[in-house]
Structure 1
Amino acid sequence: MKEDVLRKLCAAKAMEYIKNDTVIGLGAGRNIACLIELISEAMNDNFKLKVITPSDNTKNLCIKKGIEVLPIFLIDTIEVAFDGCVEVDENFYASKGAGGIFTKEKIVGAMAKNYILLADEKKLTKKLSCELPISIEILKDSLSYVIKIVEQLGGKAMVRTSANKDGYLITEDGNLLLDIIFENILDFDKLNNNLKTITGVIETSIFTKEVDKIIVSGENGVRVISR
């Protein structure tokens, strides 16, 4: 089954969790872009909705489609939030971070009564792998110290750079991103906690408690897995 068909299956199922005249959270990625298309179509039939999002791309797409976007800091609770992921496992542990907005994604996930990931079967695994880096957002002044502690934990850290500028990538909040390779991770929850206790670390790209449901699409259709 083609990827665009799988995305449409996920998005259509996600629409069942969206109530009229509410505020929802949206992350980033192609699954979310597909969901925005369906929301836009529904709003043509007097469906009302407002959105919060940490993603500039999602924000711009929502505005283009006539969907009102609110600043995250004005909201403390939402019914539901949707996001994509790099990988999610049967423990509802998810790996994110490619877009570098995982700190704010976790804020949105924390305020949502239901935080739902949209994924195809290839992204759902029995246990998270160590193939892709774990990312952390850190204060700039903590760079050398954090790298030292990360190495003591068995990780190899690289400061994220950007092809669009010379030097390190700086987040909109003025922080740095470290991408860390670990040879073997036995306990992702423990690693997440260990990384977050390092002075200077703001947040990690490992989601261990936020995810409530996973909408999974595959050759046999779409299914929902609940925690």
Structure 2
Amino acid sequence: MSQAADPVKVVKQEVGKAAADRVRSHSIVGLGTGSTTAYAVQFIGDRLKRGELEDVVGIPTSFQAEVLAKQYGIPLATLDAVERIDVAIDGADEVDPQKNLIKGGGAAHTREKVVDAAAESFVVVVDSGKLVSRLGESFLLPVEVIPMALAPVTRAIANLGGTAELRMGVKKAGPVITDQGNLVLDVKFDQIADPGELERALNNIPGVLENGLFVGVADIVLVGEIVDGQPRVREF
């Protein structure tokens, strides 16, 4: 497909490549989940194959990331086996002006938060359509819940002003199941005035494993966009 026919794909490729170019030899890299991060994983693999990089180990945040890393020849390890993560590369569903994020469109936000928060540098890769003035403008907030707590968690979220809907599978009967075997509630808030406070309040509900607010975690945001018909990557 030509660039003109699919500019979004080209932008995702360019921002993924820009993130992959930041990876150095002898480093441990958190590998995020999603379509843009998938290009970063591909380009890291390409650099290893060409000999531009050596001794790079990936920490996957999901089964998808694990499969892609193996496909592109990136050696993998677990958090138990490493003492540090040098850089994590991951996407986002929304980014606000303070570099706070909503993540979890792929239902991998719990593992992503563990890896991204542990990294010395967390690089976010997005296209310009993910930039918002306030979190929650265009994307529902994912909350991972253990199955037996679904009803009380839904009520507790309502008390916080949120409307929760169980995420259902596509091409699958029944709800989405996370890599941890849990359920995902997609929550609509009329406004998220204080993302940090809401993140803490949601995570204090018994039965909630993690939510998709990433507050104060992102270090660098790389934004892909089309300028004068050409793809461009800028640091946000």
TM-score in terms of structure 1 length: 0.90
Partner of 2:219: 212
Name the CA distance, whole Å, in 1 between partners of 2:35 and 2:167: 23
1:164 Cα shift? 4.7
Where do 5+ consecutive residues of structure 2 fail to align?
A: none
Say what the alpha-carbon RMSD is for the aligned residues. Answer: 1.8
Partner of 1:70: 77
Q: Note if 1:83 corresponds to 2:90.
A: yes
Determine if contact 2:108/2:179 at 8 Å carries over to the other structure.
Answer: no
Name the CA distance, whole Å, in 1 between partners of 2:35 and 2:182: 26
Alignment of 1:95-114 (within 5 A): 95-114=102-121
Name the CA distance, whole Å, in 2 between partners of 1:88 and 1:82: 15
AA aligned opposite 2:234: R
Name the CA distance, whole Å, in 2 between partners of 1:164 and 1:219: 33
Partner of 2:16: 11
Aligned residues: 225
Partner of 1:92: 99
Where do 5+ consecutive residues of structure 1 fail to align?
A: none
Q: Note if 1:223 corresponds to 2:216.
A: no
Partner of 2:126: 119
Partner of 2:179: 172
3-state SS in 2 of match to 1:113: strand
3-state SS in 2 of match to 1:219: strand
Determine if contact 1:54/1:72 at 8 Å carries over to the other structure.
Answer: no
TM-score in terms of structure 2 length: 0.87
Moved more, 83-92 or 166-175: 166-175
Identity value in percent: 29
Determine if contact 1:130/1:182 at 8 Å carries over to the other structure.
Answer: no
Query: Could you list the per-position Cα deviations for residues 96-125 of structure 1 after superposition, in whole angstroms to 9, with x for gaps in the alignment?
Result: 111111000000011100111001222122
AA aligned opposite 2:102: S
Alignment of 1:149-160 (within 5 A): 149-160=156-167
AA aligned opposite 1:95: I
Partner of 1:162: 169
1:79 Cα shift? 0.7
Partner of 2:48: 43
AA aligned opposite 1:161: M
Query: Could you list the per-position Cα deviations for residues 38-68 of structure 1 after superposition, in whole angstroms to 9, with x for gaps in the alignment?
Result: 2222112322221111222222122112211
Name the CA distance, whole Å, in 2 between partners of 1:172 and 1:218: 32
Name the CA distance, whole Å, in 1 between partners of 2:169 and 2:201: 27
Moved more, 38-47 or 103-112: 38-47
Name the CA distance, whole Å, in 1 between partners of 2:181 and 2:224: 37
Determine if contact 1:76/1:111 at 8 Å carries over to the other structure.
Answer: no
Partner of 2:145: 138
Name the CA distance, whole Å, in 1 between partners of 2:71 and 2:140: 33
